[in-house]
Structures are given as C-alpha cells and as structure tokens.
Structure 1
Amino acid sequence: MTQAPGRTQSLTPDPLPAHDPLAEGGLGVPQGAALTLGAVLGTGVISLPALAAHEAGPASLVAWLALVLISVPLASTFAALGARYPDGGGVATYARRAFGARVATLVGWCFYFAIPLGVPAAAGFAGAYVADSAGGGRQTQLATAGLLIGAVAVMNWFGIRVSGRVQLGIAATLAVLLMVATLVSLPHASTANLTPFAPHGWAAVGSAAALLIWAFAGWEVVTSLSSDYRHPARDIGRATTIALVVMGVLYLGVAFATVAVLGEHTSKAPLSDLLVRGFGEPARGVTSVVAVLLSLGAMNAYFAGSARLGAALGRDGSLPAWFARGSTAGQVPRRSLVVVTTGALGTLGVIAVTGVPVERTMLLVTGAFSLVYVVGTAAAIRLLPPRSWVRRGAGVAFASTLVLLGLTGRYLVPQLVVGLAAVAWMAWTRRAGRAAPGPV
C-alpha cells in the first residue's frame, strides 16, 4: 500500500492478517528452503571450485570458508527483513523504507536488469556439461541454455505454487547427488595436492573470493518472494536456516574434494571428474543431470524473484506502471516475467552471434550482486530493532559486503551505466509530473 503524501512512515512492520486467502497456496518452509538453496547453491558449484583452485590453488579453500562465514550474518539479515517487511520489492522495498525512492530505484534497476545478463551464464554452465557428455560443442551448449531459459519461464508462468513444488524435488535430488559425488571421491584424496598451499600468493585468495561471489549470490533474490510465504514472520527464518546449513556443507565438501582429489589435474567440469574417480567413466553422464538440475534450480529462483521485483518496481513508480500487473501476493507477474525472459534470450542471441564465451556475462553481474548486498544491509541497520542481535549481524554483513564491493572493482561499470539510466528515468518522471510514490 502506498503511503499518503505528508504522512510519517512507521518502521514498525505491518501486522500480519489472521487469514490471507491469497496465501493459502503460498510457500511453506520446505518450498521456501528449496527456492533459497537453489538460488544460492545454483550453478556456482558446477565449475567455480575448479576456477577458484586455478586462481589461488589450495588457498582457494580459505576464500570458500570466508564466504560461507560471511553468508551467516548476510542470510540472517535478509531473513529478518523479509520476515518483518514481506513484499515483492525485496531489497528495493527496504531501500525505499530506509533511504527513499531514489535509492530504491537505483538498486532495483541494477538488480532487475542484471538478471537477463546473468541467466545465460547460469544456463551456459549446464550447457557445457551437456555438450561435454553428448557432443556438439558450442552449438549444444547454446541450444541447452535456450531450452533451460524457456523451461524456467514456463514454470514461473503458472505461479509460485508450481515452481515451488518443482524446486523442492530439484533441491532434494541435488543434495543427494552432490553429497554422493563428494563422498565417493574422498578416498582418492591426497595431502600432496594441498601443497604448496598458496602457490600464487595470498593476494590470490582475494581474487578467488571475487570470483566466488557468483556462488554466494542468492540471499537477496529470495526476499522478493517474502510476500508469497504463508507465514512470513515464522517461516522465512526457518527456511533460510535450512538452506544456509545445507549450502555450507555442500559447498565446502565439493570445494575440498576438488582440491584434495583432483589437484592440478582438475578440468572445467570438476563434478564429472569427482564422479569418475568414485564410479568410473560411465558416471560422467550423470554430471549432466546434476548440471541441468543446478541451473534449473538457480534460474527458477531468480526468475521468480526478479519477476516479482519488476512488478513491485512498477507498482511503486520505479518502472512504468505497465510492469505492475501481478504485483499483489498470490498473483503471477507475467508482464515482468516476459521482460526478464526476453532479455535473457536476447543476451543469449548476442552471445551466439558474437562468439563471446557464455561464462563472460557472469562478470557483468557480480558488481550488481555486491551493490545490492551493500544497500540491503545498510537498510537493515536503519530498519531492524536497535541493540538486537539481527541488527548487530547486519552491521557485520554491511562491513563484509563493502569488502566484497571493493573486490568487484571494474565489474561495477555495467551498474554505473544502469544507474545513469535510472537517474535519467527519475528525472523524466519528475518533469512529466509523475514522481515516484513514497515508501510502500
């Protein structure tokens, strides 16, 4: 609900209704945990353990551990915000409450328009595994990426109830497969692969951490789904805790196995190599299934969250009102979903024509994730109860995300372009006499 002009906005969360018929078929703890895990776990576990090991050697494990630890206050902060202020705008809503419409528009645009750029990279990781197993090279990779984008768009077209159920099955299957891949390979681990521990120097740990931000992005997108929970105040924290524990175990397990088992001989498809060590060459094909499921899980969560975000931005005046259709909890934001899908397919088309590696677009969005984290945690410091543990955690998360923002460096250039476009949009709406409304 839009604030009336001149009224003072209270930071006290609106009381939850005793019964919301639109939320009857909404998210419960299992579906919420599955969506959160899919968003965070995502495609990072497919190739990033090998890329990080190539960047920093065994010392890349330090980067993995540091980012898992940073995830604790970060996840707790966004869970607390989602539980108190359930809304499809997610971080943009928190920024609007804390800092006003301008900051909300800036951060909302940076995140919303980053998703179509990053989705082809997520789908491309899976496509590379399929091409490795079935053959066909780049054409197979691009075709697989296009099919995954289409499949996720169809899943979300029918609403969060359908995509949430599908996500639950995906998450359960993934957890089992990744755990099996780690456990069957560990008997082949060698301490010799852990030395020298930092062959490229300790500074390389920071470079590896900047690369791994992609693997830990996702806590922010689930906040846009907070209004779709049946009981946000109760269930968001539980779902986040489950996802955090499972994510930490799986990430650290796969990362350690990649370094200790494969050593310098790791390929771009470390999961394939780990399964082959445990079960033999016939197991290589299973990795394609894992890769496709990981990509589907991550893309499903991001499509659901970004579609909801776009509708909320349209509702609040940060995007044209055309986007606002479906912004109410229980509705499907199909217009925003069409924009995200079209943008993702358009990016994939550019990649196909130019010959640019699919993974390259990943670097264009890491800055957006870092920026969203900084703004979200800063908003939490203003919005969460003073002297509470969640607010202290938000302070730790804010300091940590500032470091991550510094590590992204030149990857913030795309966000500068998007930010300038957002400023131009706000200036145009003011001149047209259509100023964005106040805090929701």
Structure 2
Amino acid sequence: MTETVRQPGAAPGATPGPTSGPTPGPAPGGRFTAPQATALYVGAVLGTGVITLPALAADAAGPASLVAWAALVLLSVPLASAFAALGARHPDAGGVSTYARLAFGERAAAVVGWCFYLAVPPGAAAAALFGGAYAAEALGGGDATALGTAAALMAAVTAANAAGLRVTGRIQLALGGLLVTLLVVAVALSLPHARLDNLQPFAPHGWAAVGPAATMLVWSFAGWEAITHLAAELRRPARDLPRATGAAVVIVGVLYLSVAFAVIAVLGASAADTEAPLGELMAAGLGGDARHLAAVAAVLLTFGTMNAYYAAAAKLGAALGRDGAAPAWLARGSTVGEVPRRSLALVSGLALLALGAVTAADIGVRPLVLLTTGSFVTVYAVGVAAALRLLPRRSKGHAAACVALVAIAALLAMSGVYLLWPLAVSGAALLYLGLRKGSRSGVSTMGR
C-alpha cells in the first residue's frame, strides 16, 4: 500500500500520484523509550561543540560570541519542533530524505540523503580528533595520542552500533546523565572565579564578527535532524518524539549557554588561546589535576556524539538503498529492529579514511568543521521546506518551520564557499540517479 501526495506543481484539486518507496506509518512500534531518545538527541547535539567551540567563538568575536550562542539556542526551538513534528507524523529510517521524497520527489530525497550521509564521515573524523586532543593534553604524547584516541573512539562506536540499537540506547542513556553531571560540576565550580571585567570590551572585533562566529557554531547545533532517522524505533513516535525533543532543547540550550558564559567570564582573554576550554574550567575549580577529568569528559562527549550520528547515518544509508537512491546492497537493516551493518561498515570505513587524510595532509580540523556544517545547513533547508509542504497549515509544527526557514536562509548566506561540498555531493547523487535510470532503461529495452 502506498501513500498518495500532491506532486510538486500540481493543482490543489488534481488527482495525486503515488510516491515511490515505502509509506512511513504512524505507529511502527519500536523499542526505544522517550528517555533513551532524549539521551540520543542530547548526544547528537551536545558533543564536541561544547569542548572546543566556546574558545574558537571567543577568538572570533570575543564576549559578543555569547550573542551568537543565544541566537542559535533560539533557532533550535523552531528547528527542532519542525523536525519533531515531521518525525512524529512520518516515522521512517530515511528521516529528512523521506520527508524530501514525500514533499518534492525522488531527486530531492537523494540529494538530502547523500548530503547527510556523506557529512558524517568527515564530521566524525573532526569530532574524534577533538576528543583526542583532550586526551593528548592530559596524558601527553602529542599527535600520536590524539590519533590513537580518535581511532579507538571510531572502533568503539562502530562496535556499539553493530550490537544493535537497544545496546546503543542504553549506552547513550548512561552517558547522557554522566556528561550532564560533569558539565554542571565544571560550570558550578568555576563560576566563583568569574569576573565581569572579562566581558569588557564586549565586541572587541566589532559586531560584524558575530556572524562568522555563528557560522562556526552551527557545528555545535547540528543534530536536531539526526533523531528523525530513529523515529521509527520509538515505541510511540507521536507521543515520545515531541517529549524527547522538548527535553533535549532545554538541556542543550542551558548547558551551552552556561559553558560559553563560564569560559569567557572565568578565563577572560586566555579563553581564545586554549584548545581545551573545558579542562581549563575544571582546573580553575578543582586544580590542575582536573584536566584528566576533563579529558574523560571530552572523550565521553565525543563518543556520545559519534554514537548518535553513526546510528542515524547507518539507518539512513539502509533506507537510501531500500528506496533506490543508493546501491541496493545497502538496504539490509532498513526495517525496524534490524541492524544496518553494511551501511554502518561503509560509514565507519569512510570515517577512518577521512581521519587518515586529515592526518597525512596536516590541515587541521577547522575546514572539516565548516564543510560539515555547510552540509547540515543544506539538509536543514530542504527539511524545513519539506515541513512547510507536509505539515498541516496552522499547526504548531508548520508555524515553527516558517520561523526556522528564515533563520536557515541567513545561515546559508553566511556559509559561503563551504556550500561547495554539499553542491558537489548533490551533483554526485543526481548523477547516480541518472545512471541508475539509464541502466534500468537499457535492461528494459533489451528485454523487449
């Protein structure tokens, strides 16, 4: 049975045509609970951004970077709400790719699916190296320790996801509580050392610097779409997904703003010079040995982020194979409860290749961060546009999508040259579809 939707450009009263691929159902009856989904959501968004970007943003805009943090927290509300409404209404492993297909057709689905899928490996390499940098600072060993830690993180995340989503969810639930506790402790112990003088001058590089800082900080807020790929695994998506989303937005927003404020108010001008701001905060409150605790927190945060994204990307790859937007051998594992091991293996392999390339070229992780955020902004743009078409008008989800679309347009404008990567990926996706259709047409002609 297929769902019918009005095709793009069709008149309102026209007879709708069938969509290709499976129809996302309203109640797939998975095994994830709302607390587990909240933990995965928090892990997807609250990760390496909180251990690195407060310092990078402070370097770009000074204390005025707090304005960029606040703006992105506010943007998270309508953005997460729109994706939650879509996930609750159309729970499917394809996530944003499925919404694009229902709203705009097969080509849009392939483009957004490929953009998300191929953003995860370079993003995972950058994230793993962020966590590795903390380990190297605490343990010594320099680049060798950082690289070894990064590779170990990738192996551990792959193993956790290969064991199945039930194991992944339990691990994420435990990590979520531990990580929130560590961040709260770091901020609480360091705030007595805060000085309001460190907030002056508030905009040392001018107010125009807030824009570039906000573009960089998109990395910290990428993840609001990730949980949609796991919506079908929830016991009651229509009830549990909005609850998980609301809880995640509050937790992430409070923690990000608290850590960002503490980094600037406690560390002052030195915040821009450190690669491990969370370690410096803990050292301010507990002494120098706290850097080891910060390294543990950084590695766990990195694991949580990578865990959520590997799970989402693996499911998405299987869905793309199922729907014909990627090779069919990826399709195994797309149904509820199955482990998409082939797709997981591909994601893991590409991430390792990205890690090796970054290490060999010695180019640093900043370009990878901006390339990845360019891809996610593109995914957000297509996803929000799909929400405007699929969600009922005058609903809360539709209103949230309207607000989010305006903000996403501004982020696209600020992404600049880093949109070339999602543009290239989009071209590759469309080329694959063209070749696939040409091959099918040739086979059909020969059979006549």
Q: Name 1:401's counterpart in structure 2.
A: 408
Is 1:324 aligned to 2:324, yes or no?
Answer: no
Is 1:187 aligned to 2:198, yes or no?
Answer: no
Structure 2 counterpart SS, 1:387: coil
User: What pairs with 1:91-110 in structure 2 (closer than 5 Å)?
Assistant: 91-110=96-115
Matched residue type, 2:130: F
Separation in 2, partners of 1:298, 1:401: 22
Q: Name 1:429's counterpart in structure 2.
A: 436
| 8 Å contact kept, 2:41–2:308 | yes
Shift of 1:433: 2.0
Q: Name 2:394's counterpart in structure 1.
A: 387
Is 1:263 aligned to 2:268, yes or no?
Answer: yes
Shift of 1:350: 1.3
Shift of 1:427: 1.1
Is 1:370 aligned to 2:381, yes or no?
Answer: no
Shift of 1:416: 1.5
Matched pairs, number: 428
Structure 1 counterpart SS, 2:97: helix
For residues 234-265 of structure 1, give each alpha carbon's deviation from its aligned partner in whole angstroms, at most 9, with x where no partner exists: 10010111111110110000000011111101
User: What pairs with 1:194-233 in structure 2 (closer than 5 Å)?
Assistant: 194-233=199-238
Which residue, out of 311, 315, 339, partners 2:322? Answer: 315
Separation in 1, partners of 2:163, 2:17: 38
Which residue, out of 50, 65, 74, partners 1:45? Answer: 50
For residues 117-159 of structure 1, give each alpha carbon's deviation from its aligned partner in whole angstroms, at most 9, with x where no partner exists: 1101011110000000101111111111000001000000011
Q: Residues 411, 97 of structure 1: CA spacing in aligned structure 2 closer, same or farther, 3 A cutoff?
A: same
User: What pairs with 1:78-227 in structure 2 (closer than 5 Å)?
Assistant: 78-227=83-232
Q: Name 1:438's counterpart in structure 2.
A: none
- Unpaired runs of at least 5, structure 2: 6-14, 443-448
User: What pairs with 1:331-346 in structure 2 (closer than 5 Å)?
Assistant: 331-346=338-353
Q: Name 2:301's counterpart in structure 1.
A: 294
TM-score using structure 1 length: 0.94
Q: Name 2:367's counterpart in structure 1.
A: 360
Shift of 1:415: 1.1
| 8 Å contact kept, 1:2–1:316 | no
Matched residue type, 2:174: G
Separation in 1, partners of 2:214, 2:355: 27
Q: Name 2:9's counterpart in structure 1.
A: none
Shift of 1:191: 1.1
Separation in 2, partners of 1:184, 1:195: 23
| 8 Å contact kept, 1:47–1:269 | yes
Matched residue type, 1:431: G
Shift of 1:221: 1.2
For residues 360-383 of structure 1, give each alpha carbon's deviation from its aligned partner in whole angstroms, at most 9, with x where no partner exists: 322221110000000000000000
Shift of 1:206: 0.4
| 8 Å contact kept, 1:117–1:344 | yes
Is 1:16 aligned to 2:21, yes or no?
Answer: no
Shift of 1:3: 6.0
Separation in 2, partners of 1:14, 1:110: 25
Separation in 2, partners of 1:13, 1:426: 22
| 8 Å contact kept, 1:118–1:365 | yes
Separation in 2, partners of 1:4, 1:350: 45
| 8 Å contact kept, 2:381–2:409 | yes
Structure 2 counterpart SS, 1:385: coil
Which residue, out of 391, 410, 422, partners 2:417? Answer: 410
For residues 183-223 of structure 1, give each alpha carbon's deviation from its aligned partner in whole angstroms, at most 9, with x where no partner exists: 11111111111111100011100010000000000011111
Is 1:280 aligned to 2:291, yes or no?
Answer: no
Matched residue type, 1:250: L
Q: Name 1:66's counterpart in structure 2.
A: 71
Separation in 2, partners of 1:389, 1:330: 30
Structure 2 counterpart SS, 1:219: coil
Structure 2 counterpart SS, 1:402: helix
Separation in 1, partners of 2:105, 2:363: 39
Matched residue type, 2:320: L
Matched residue type, 1:110: C
Matched residue type, 2:250: V
| 8 Å contact kept, 2:26–2:88 | no
Shift of 1:282: 1.4
Shift of 1:358: 3.6
Structure 1 vs Structure 2 CA RMSD: 1.7
Structure 2 counterpart SS, 1:381: helix
TM-score using structure 2 length: 0.93
Separation in 2, partners of 1:284, 1:145: 18
Larger mean CA deviation between 261-270 and 290-299 belongs to 261-270
Separation in 2, partners of 1:351, 1:172: 32
Matched residue type, 1:402: A
Matched residue type, 1:408: S
| 8 Å contact kept, 1:86–1:232 | yes
Matched residue type, 1:246: I
Structure 2 counterpart SS, 1:432: helix
Structure 1 counterpart SS, 2:431: helix
Shift of 1:278: 0.7
Separation in 2, partners of 1:3, 1:75: 25
| 8 Å contact kept, 1:125–1:359 | no
Structure 2 counterpart SS, 1:341: helix
Matched residue type, 1:121: A
| 8 Å contact kept, 1:121–1:360 | no
| 8 Å contact kept, 1:82–1:232 | yes
Shift of 1:8: 3.0
| 8 Å contact kept, 2:26–2:238 | no
Matched residue type, 1:360: P
- Unpaired runs of at least 5, structure 1: 436-440
Q: Name 1:236's counterpart in structure 2.
A: 241
Separation in 1, partners of 2:441, 2:84: 33
Q: Residues 120, 359 of structure 1: CA spacing in aligned structure 2 closer, same or farther, 3 A cutoff?
A: farther
| 8 Å contact kept, 1:33–1:239 | yes
Q: Name 2:61's counterpart in structure 1.
A: 56
Shift of 1:429: 1.3
